[in-house]
Structure formats: C-alpha cells, structure tokens
Amino acid sequence: MTSQYDIAVIGGGNAALCAAMTAAEKGAKVIILETAPKAYRGGNSRHTRNFRCMHSGPLGPLIEDYSEDEYFEDLLKVTGGKTDEKLARLAIRTSEECLPWMEEHGVRFQPSLSGTLSLARTNAFFMGGGKSLVNAYYRTADKLGVKVLYEANVTHLELDGDRITRVDYTHEGKSGQLTPKAVIVASGGFQADTDWLTRAWGPPAKNFLIRGTPYNRGVVLADLLDQGVNSVGDPTQCHAVAIDGRAPKFDGGIVTRLDCVPFSIVVNKDAERFYDEGEDVWPKRYAIWGRLVANQPDQVGYVIIDAKSLDLFMPSVFPPIKADTLEELAEKMELPADRLRETVETFNAACGDTSNFHPTELDGVKTTGINLPKTNWARPIDTPPFYGYSLRTGVTFTYLGFKVDENAQCSTDTGPIRNLWAAGETMAGSILGQGYLAGFGMTIGTVFGRIAGREAANYAN
Amino acid sequence: MQTDLLQEARRQAEICNACRYCEGYCSVFPALHQERFFSDANLTQLANLCHNCRGCYYACQYTAPHEFDLNLPKALAEVRQDSWESFAWPAPLARSFQKSGVMIAIATILGFAVLFLAFRALGSAGGEGFYAVLSHSAMVAIFLPAFLFPLASIAVSLRRYWKETGGTSVTLEQIVGAFGSAAKMKNLAGGHGDGCNFEDEDRFSQSRRLAHQAVMYGFLLCFASTSAGTILHYVFDMPAPYSFWSLPKLLGVPGGILMVLGTVELARLKLKADRSLGAPSAWGGEMGFILLLFLVALSGLALYALGSTAAMPALLAIHLGSVLSFFLLTPYTKMAHGFYRLAALVRDEQRKAAG
C-alpha cells in the first residue's frame, strides 16, 4: 500500500477529520492513521463540548452577535497578548462559515447547557458533546471514501530537504510504510507522555492528572522537531486547571471539574491556606488554581466547605467527603486535625458581615485582619456537616507545537516544507501563547483542519 | 425494588449530572439535571421517561472501556423493568411474563385452547358468520372480563407508580403535553429530529420511531375498529359480518396492516440492535410480546381474507385466542410500558410546570 493514498492524516480528532473530509471532497485519496483504538478515537475532541464562533445575527444555536473584534479582545484577555494576530483573526473570521459546514458534515447543535448560560452567545454546543461530533465526522469521512486505520502508531516521518518522503508506522504488531504525496499532522500535544512533561515542567508533573486522551504522546511532534521543523510555544508550559483529586490519571474529562473553590477555603496537606479563594469568579480562576496546586507539597490541595455552600456549585462527579466535625473531616482527608481547626477558626474570626453574600457575582464579602485575605464570598465555615474535596492539577494541553503559516503549512529554517501541513492542538501554540478560551481549540482545529485539507489536496492533485 | 439496580443507576446519574453533554437528546436529561441527589423515586421516574433511544450511550465519553463504565440506557432499562415488576398487580404474574418469551408463547397457546374448547362446548346457538362458530353472547362472556380485569390491574399499578414518584393531581394541559409527546414519539427523535441510535451503532435513523408508530397507530385503529363494531352491534343493531366499506373494516384493515408491518420491522431492528444496551434479561419477553402482537394482527387480517372459507373456524380460534392472551397479559408484558410511559410523561409535564 505504498502509493495507494494521496494524503496521510496523522491523528483522528476534530482537526484530522476536518482535514480528511475536506481533502476527500476535493478528490484526494485519504488515509487517517489514528493511534487510539476505535473506542477511544477522536483524541481530546471526544471530551469537548462546544465551538466558539463569530457571528453577526443569530446563527444556529447562537443568539445575538459576536463580532470579530470582540472575539479577538476575548482572546487577548486570556493570552495576555501572546497570540499571532494574523492567524488568530483568520481563525475567528473563518469560524462563522464553519458552523453551517459542520452541520452539513453531520454535527448537530443544542442550546447552551444548563449551568453555561453565559456561553449562549459565543459558543455553539454539540448535541451529545464532542464524541458525537467525532462519530458524525467518521460516518461522513467513511462515505467520502476516507480509509481509517485504528491503533496505527506513526513512529517517524522522513524529512528529505523540503519534502516528507515517507511515513513509518506500526499496526497490529507489524511495521508499515506509506509514501503519500502529502502529510497532515493533527495528532495533538505531548501531555500524555508523563516523562516528557516531567522533563519540561519538573518533578511535580509526575503527580499531574491528564484531563484528556492518553494517546497524545507527542511522538510525531518530537520526531519532526528533532528534524528541524520550526516550533512555536513555550516547551515547558501546559494549560492546567484544578480538578477533583480522585479523577482518573487520564481521560477524566469535563466531569472532574470542581466549581466550589470560591465558596471554600483551600488548604495544603499541612492544613494551611495558600491563596485568596475569592479573587474572582471561578471560570476566570480555575487555570490559576491548576498552577497553585502544582506548587504545593505533593501537588495536592484540599477544599473545605460547609453545609451552607453545598448547593451553590455544579454537582461533582464523586460525592464530597462528608463529616459532622472538622476533626472527623481532617481524619477522613488525612489532614492534621489541630492545624485544620486552627486555620478554619482563624479564617472564621476574620469573616465579617455576610449579608451581602451573592454566589454568582463578586460580592465584596471579604475577610479582615488576616495576612492571606479572601476577598469575595468569605463566609465562615461553621455549619455542619462539613464537606471536603481533594484538588489536583489536571493538564488540558501543552503549548509546544508546529509553527505554521496562514495555509497551515509547516516549515524549517530554510523555508516551507512543500508537502507538510499541521492542524489542531499540534499547531495551536501558533495562536494561543498562554491561557485558554473556551471552545477556541475546536475553532482552531476546524478552521486549520479545513485549510490543511484544502492545501494538501491542491498539492496532491 | 432491587437496590443494586437502583444503586448502579444512581452512580451513573451522578456522573451524567456532572457532565450534561446529553441535555438536548430527550426528556430524561433536563429532569436528571434538576436533581442533586437521586432518590429511588427520582430514578424510577427517569427510568420510565427513558425511551431507550441510545443516543446518550453512543455520545458518551465514559462508556467502557473507560473506568466509569457508563451505560445509562441499560441502567435505566433495568430499573424500568424492575419497577414494572414491582408495581404490577398481582406482581408474580409480571415476574413470569416480562422476561420470558416462552411463557408468553405458552399463554398464547392456552388462549387458542380456551377458544377451541369454547367452540366445542358453547357453540353457535344458531348465529351466522363468526357467530356460527361461537355465539355473540359467549364471546362477550369471555372477552368482557378479559378486557376489564387488565384495566383494573393497570389502574392499580399506575396508582402505585404515581404514589411512588410523588405525582400530584393532573391537569388537562399536562395530559395534552404527554399525549402530544407520545403521538410524535418525540423522545425517539434524538432532540435534533434525526432519530435514534438503535440498529446500527451511532448512525441516527427513524426506523425504530416509525416502526413503533406503525404499531401504535395500527393498534389504535384496530381498537377503534372493535369499538365501532360494538357500537354498531348494540346501538344500531347491525351485527357482524361487515362489508369492506364499513367502519370496522375501514379502520381495522389498515390498522392490521400497520401492525403487521410495524411488528416485523421492530423485530428486525431488535435482532440487529446491541442487546447489552437494554435489559438483557427482558429481551425474550420483549420479543415474545412483539410476536404476539404480530400474531394478533396477522390472524385478524387472515380472518378477513379467508373468513368465508373452511379455514375460518381455525383462524377465528387463533385470532380470538391470541387477542385473549394479549388482553390478559397486558399488565404483565411490554404492553404495560405504554401506560407507564404516559404516566412518566405526565409526571414530567408536572416537573416542567413546577419549574
């Protein structure tokens, strides 16, 4: 099967599928090499839930308007300016035409989910979530004649001058080679390779949980960077949030999020508070807490709330640890009981008038007279039963990736690689230098997947 | 009810409640997302709201081999099955028939036997047409109790269901809402209108929805046909047989054809579908019930086609025998699902009205 395919797409998530479908529609013979088995196909896309989309006037499930400038402003806020404006605006502008394209290719949308009303204007939610999107795209790709090989591990792309000449892979215990005319890499970051993550971040990374797929090990990324393909993004950094400490090592996905921090005090394993829990609303702070927890001993935090706050946040996937006294809670959570009582009493004594408490906005209900204040939602932890959660750092994605141009084309220091394109998380660092904007990963994947598919097909034809 | 089945459904519902990606598929998820903790009563109501369209299973990022091992359609199917068995009156009958196609077959054969015996023992008393084989009064004597007893039994079961799930007094608006949902089988439309995921993994299709509606409307037409016959007999003194251009035939023949086509398609889909996404132990009982409905419809059509031939008495025994067992088994077979489903839809209308 050496020259049977015009285009090899490496990866099997949203970007890969968008690229494969686009190329197949232009008449190219396409093969997808997906490293996961069928049940786990789709990379991190299977955990996604929406698509951030520019629009003027109502579009599909989206209400009102979301202009290019407002979208770009939102991006600047989260990236602190670390973004390539040209590529970012390209992604934003193209997102509007993507939504109907997605529907034509089988994706179905639903109204904004309960608990996410703030996104009803900006983010189009997939009916059933990302896995149903992935399922629909595989169905459509199949109809277009795209061949899919599951459990196909691409081990090496041979870069000869300005061309990729060969794709090496293993499948069902056997080595295989392809010599397609063009290659599209859409195989994500490297966050599932714990050793690499530990080399990049340092020893604490061993205790990080990976929120998404265990198959994003960065094999192709490392292979191509070794051969001098240009990269972008801080190689030491990953996007991480604070999640339920009982989450599985991999693939815990959306349900492992915990929204209760603003109504809590958070302590480390010595039962000491370490940061202002009430600094801002949770969606603006969960990423900070990923790093804060990573800097604590054993990379773990403990959220303590009382009965007053139990119904104020989205339900957790695992029930909280519950106890009638702080001592009992400390024992169940393996915290020093005396210390925890002292911390809670100090905090409680610093709480003042709570009559203006308002769970969904910055209410200014703050502590006074302690070195580490809580600046909003500061109510004493005094109403049993008490509840606790452990917090760990959950990695969403890594920033290191391929540097691409507006045609999604990869390059070396000597110029463009004529037949290599990249799409999705593996090149998202070109646009997202730091931070993250909900639903923007799917925008990047869809926009650049389609561009890569188009360019590769034009080249192959 | 069985606590292990409820506990497993509770475990899964808690994971679903933290995810919410499936909110738009059907009525189950908005109801589920309104709770924070799931009582047995909540789970019973959710289980009876679930139409087993399986959209949520194929969309789910947490199905096996993921360690969360979600299979909500199955967990709810098992609770649902168990709830029907525990609400049934008398309950042991439901335990015998809900899960066993063989028991349904035996009951059907017994139905034939009763009719043959009745033909022989009671005879015609000088009637014409079908009444030459069995008199009208003998038919009424057999079928009136066979019709009323199941209704009484179902009434007891629904009362139990209503009490368990905390239902309040019903308004016309709620009934209209629930019947509207059943009339369009909205919960098998997938939220987006593309249908459900039943016979071919994650491919959406209308097949099951259409087949179900063919059976449902076919059954209602047949029921209307029988009712029309009864009215013609008693009110207008026009006893059977009726010509094709009569109300009983104009309702009954299309109804019978719809039921035959619908049951054949339902059985075909059921053979293709993944059994592990329903209550596997009830598969035989469900299939037996589909075949019984098929037999009721086919024998009715055959009786119409061959009613003036020598085969008539045998066909009449088969038709009336299968109808008899169908009636008597209604509270204890899959047929009961229609009543529970409507009750659950009315209950859900109440939930929505309460906000």
* Cα dihedral value B39, B45, B50, B51, nearest 10: 160
Q: Which of B144, B24, B8 has its CA nearest to residue B72?
A: B8
Task: Reduce the DSSP state of residue A27 to 3 states and report it.
Answer: coil
Percent of chain A with pLDDT strictly greater than 90: 93
Q: Would you say B321 and B133 are in contact if contact means Cβ atoms under 8 Å apart?
A: no
pLDDT tens-digit series, residues A41-71: 999 999 999 999 999 999 999 999 999 999 9
Non-local (6+) Cβ contacts of B142 within 8 A are: B114, B115, B118, B320, B324
Which CA distances in Å does A335 have to A214, A228, A328, A390?
Answer: 31, 49, 10, 11
> Best interface-test mutation with A: which of B34, B61, B202 has the largest number of A CBs within 10 A?
B61
Give Cβ neighbours of residue A224 (< 8 Å, ≥ 6 apart).
Answer: A157, A159, A185, A402, A410, A420
Summarised one tens digit per residue, pLDDT across range B2-51 is 899 999 999 999 999 999 999 999 999 999 999 999 999 999 999 999 99
B234 contact partners, CB below 8 Å, separation of at least 6: none
Q: Is A127 on the interface with B (CB under 8 A)?
A: yes
- For residues A54 and A70, what is the distance between their CA atoms, to the nearest angstrom? 9
- Comparing alpha-carbon positions, the chain B residue that sits nearest to A109 is B192
Mutate to test the interface with A, among B21, B58, B202 (most CBs of A within 10 A): B21
Q: Do A314 and B202 touch (CB under 8 A)?
A: no
d(CA A427, CA A41): 20
Residues A300 and A393: their CA atoms lie apart, in Å, by 8
The class that CATH gives domain A7-235+399-460 is alpha beta
To the nearest whole percent, how much of chain A has pLDDT over 70? 99
Cβ atoms of A396 and A420 closer than 8 Å? no
Sheet with A163-171, edge to edge strand ranges? A152-160, A163-171, A174-178
CATH 3.90.700.10 boundaries in chain A: 241-394
In this complex, which of B17, B61, B64 lies closest to A315 when CB atoms are compared?
A: B17
Helices assigned H by DSSP within B34-168: 40-49, 55-59, 72-87, 91-97, 101-122, 136-164
Type of residue found at A87:
L
Rounded Cα–Cα distance for residues A243 and A238 (Å)? 15
What does the alpha-carbon distance between residue A420 and residue B176 come to, in Å, rounded to a whole number?
Answer: 60
Strand bridging mode A147-149 / A30-33: parallel
Residue A416 φ/ψ, nearest 5 degrees: -65, 150
> Which residue in chain A is spatially nearest to B54 when comparing CA positions?
A128
- Mean pLDDT over each residue of chain A, to the nearest integer: 96
> Which pLDDT belongs to residue A3?
58
Compare CB distances from A114 to B33, B62, B64 and report the shortest one's residue. Answer: B33
Closest CA–CA distance from residue B59 to any residue of chain A (Å): 5
Q: What is the pTM of this model?
A: 0.95
Instruction: Check: CB of residue B288 under 8 Å from CB of residue B259.
Output: no
The per-residue pLDDT of chain B, averaged, comes to 95
Q: Answer whether A326's CB lies under 8 Å from A382's CB.
A: no
Out of B25, B36, B190, whose CB is closest to A315?
B36
User: Does the pLDDT of residue B125 top 80, yes or no?
Assistant: no
Res. A274 pLDDT band, cuts 50 70 90? very high
Q: And the tokens for A155?
A: 């081990």
Q: What is the crossing angle of helices B283-306 and B247-272, to 10°?
A: 150
Tell me the pLDDT tens digit for each residue of A353-377: 999 999 999 999 999 999 999 999 9
Separation of alpha carbons A163 and B343, rounded Å: 66
Interface contact A222, partner B, CB < 8 A? no
DSSP state of A176: E
Numbered residues of chain B with Cβ closer than 8 Å to any chain A Cβ:
14-15, 17-25, 30, 33, 36, 55-56, 58-67, 190-192, 194, 202-203
Residue A115 has pLDDT above 80, yes or no: no
In CATH, what number does A241-394 get? 3.90.700.10
Q: With 90 as the cut, is the pLDDT of residue A412 above it?
A: yes
> A255–B56: do the CB atoms touch at under 8 Å?
no
- Its ipTM equals 0.95
Cis amide leading into B90 (omega within 30) = yes
Range A9-46 burial, b when 16+ CB lie within 10 A, else e: bbbbbbbbbbbbbbbbbbebbbbbbbbbeeebbbbbbb
User: Looking at residue B140, what DSSP letter applies?
Assistant: H
A312 interface with B at CB cutoff 8 Å: no
Where are the domain boundaries for CATH 3.50.50.60 in chain A?
7-235+399-460
Q: Which two tokens stand for residue A320?
A: 């909280």
Residue A283 has pLDDT above 90, yes or no: no
Q: What is the structure's pLDDT at A1? A: 44
Alpha carbon separation from B160 to B47, B87, B156, B163, B315 (Å, rounded): 15, 6, 6, 5, 39
User: What average pLDDT score do residues B128-141 get?
Assistant: 89
